[in-house]
Structure 1
Amino acid sequence: MKKVFLGLSALFFAVLVSGCNQLTQYTISEQEVNQALAKHNNYEKDIGVAGLVNAHILLTDLSSQIGREEPDRVTLTGKAKINVTSLFGPQEADMQLKMKARPVFDAQQGAVFLRDLEIVDAQVQPEKMAAVMKSLTPYLNQSLKSYFDQKPAWVLSTDRSKGEALAKKFAKGLKVEPGQLVIPFTQ
């Protein structure tokens, strides 16, 4: 009888604690962030150095890994299709990008932004375009950084769930955990 009571007590305590988490924080999964990032697919921008080289960039297939490589960062991967016009004529290249950013919660907007975005790796195909793309990468990095500084990766909504509505009203910051973003309601 004592073992059954202890087992039921432990189960009750576990349910109570998990219920409290729903009342004290809201969690955004990596999958939810990836679905939101799909809205940023097909980001297009013209970059370059006037008169020397110009490039039209189309970013697709964005996905994230939250807090896995670095504890407080989101790692983004994506593809960039680039059409370059230079003194050597028109050329095309494909880049596989890896970027890191710091997720920040803006309570006033109820949104998560990816700040301090930085391209940490860029693989270029065809390889003969690597030198041209290396010279354009700082411009691409600045363009993407500016874009994600202005466009949130996730916006809390009062319509999706009660937990999300509570988060929008009472959120006090953001914690990065492996595979998820946690928005606590208290500090």
Structure 2
Amino acid sequence: MFNKMLVGGTLLAVSLLMAGCQKVTHYSLSEQLVNHYLQSEIDPHIANLTDPQNIDVVLSFDKLSVDVGRDPAKIVSADGVVKAMLSLPEGKKSVDIDIQFAGKPEFMPVKGAIYLDDVDIKHYQVVAGEDQSYIKYISPDLDYAITQYFKQNPIYILDKSSPIEDLALNTPNKFSVEKGQLLFSWL
């Protein structure tokens, strides 16, 4: 009888403990937090390129933002403006390009960072009112430069000074993409 009460009490205590800990079985990183990180922390410089016609191109981001796990699911979609500084034979020309791209988020625990893999450029267009012909100078290199940029530069780095982000970083976990959030689970 005493053993049954002891086992029952232990099971009840473990159940209550698990119910109380339910909220700390995962950490959800919101797309708002990722966007804040992109606006404040990411290096806007993408690449310096020289194409076969000896035209120098300097690319940088402006107003980059992401949608996490919305359309399509499990993917991070991004849009923004790429600023291109072209050094042409007739002089320097600045061109703004609206861009949309998507990639699969990958968590790299060793670096504590989330990168975009398999980046696919969905659309780009020179901003209205500018000479559309300039896109020919950079379109061959634009896809490559952005793909390489996100292989080397994370969209978010976990903050080790945050207890929950440190837990997500240092605990064996599962990383997944949900609508509006990146999810770290450790149970």
CA-to-aligned-CA distance 1:24-53 (integer Å, 9 cap, x gap): 211100011011112225324222414343
- Superposition RMSD on alpha carbons, in Å? 2.4
Q: Does the residue aligned with 1:40 lie in a helix, a strand or coil?
A: coil
Q: Does the residue aligned with 1:112 lie in a helix, a strand or coil?
A: strand
Q: Does the residue aligned with 2:36 lie in a helix, a strand or coil?
A: helix
Q: Distance in 2 between matches of 1:138 and 1:170?
A: 42
Q: In structure 2, list runs of 5 or more residues that go unmatched.
A: 1-14
| Residue 145 of structure 2 corresponds to residue 178 of structure 1 | no
Q: In structure 1, list runs of 5 or more residues that go unmatched.
A: 1-12
2:126 maps to what in 1?
A: 124
AA matched with 1:92: S
State the TM-score, normalizing by the size of structure 1: 0.79
Is contact 1:107-1:171 (8 Å) kept?
no
Largest Rg, 1 or 2: 2
Q: How does 1:27-176 map to 2 (within 5 A)?
A: 27-38=28-39, 39-40=41-42, 42-126=44-128, 129-161=131-163, 163-176=164-177
Q: Percent identity?
A: 25
AA matched with 2:180: G
Structure 1 stretches of 4+ moved >4 Å: 16-19
CA apart distance, 1:165: 1.7
**Structure 2 CA distance for partners of 1:137 and 1:164, relative to 1, 3 Å:** same
CA apart distance, 1:57: 1.8
AA matched with 2:157: V
**Structure 2 CA distance for partners of 1:166 and 1:136, relative to 1, 3 Å:** same
State the TM-score, normalizing by the size of structure 2: 0.79
Q: Distance in 1 between matches of 2:68 and 2:101?
A: 12
